[in-house]
């Protein structure tokens, strides 16, 4: 079994390769994506998660996430990223991945504003 940091690195590499199958293999069936301060998930379940990435992200040829910084706190991995290829300028994000049972179960994305 991969460590949380190894698992998050694997999903990052799959994301940058736009390999949906490999990317989704890193996430639990009940994965939830949150955008604080909203309390409810904006995406719930692997099917909805995969559909979003297939339609909204992996269609961008220039898509890639640049890792600026990473730290690990137990089962949580925090990445500071610049997302290229979606907008004219890179999108800055902080993302917290919560790993349970060897898969990413929660994703919390924070933008600067």
For residue 36, what is the domain's CATH number?
A: 3.10.450.50
Q: How many helices (H) and strands (E) does the chain have?
A: 3, 6
Estimate to the nearest angstrom the gap between the alpha carbon of 106 and the chain centroid.
Answer: 9
Residue-level pLDDT, tens digit, the chain, 113 residues? 899 999 999 999 999 999 999 999 999 999 999 999 999 999 999 999 999 999 999 999 999 999 999 999 999 999 999 999 999 999 999 999 999 999 999 999 999 98
- The 10 Å Cβ neighbour count of residue 65 is 21
For residue 10, what are the domain limits?
4-110
Domain count for the chain? 1
How far apart are the C-alpha atoms of 76 and 44, rounded to whole Å? Answer: 19
């Amino acid at each position: 079994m991969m460590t949380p940091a190894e698992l998050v690195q694997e999903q990052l590499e799959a994301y940058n390769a736009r390999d949906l199958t490999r990317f989704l293999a890193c996430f639990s069936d009940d994965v939830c994506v949150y955008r604080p301060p909203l309390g409810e998930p904006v995406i719930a379940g692997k099917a909805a998660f995969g559909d979003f990435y297939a339609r909204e992200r992996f269609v961008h040829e220039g898509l890639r996430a640049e890792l600026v910084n990473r730290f690990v706190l137990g089962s949580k991995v925090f990445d500071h990223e610049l997302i290229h290829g979606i907008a004219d300028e890179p999108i800055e994000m902080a993302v917290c991945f919560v790993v349970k049972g060897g898969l990413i179960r929660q994703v919390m994305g924070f933008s600067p504003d």
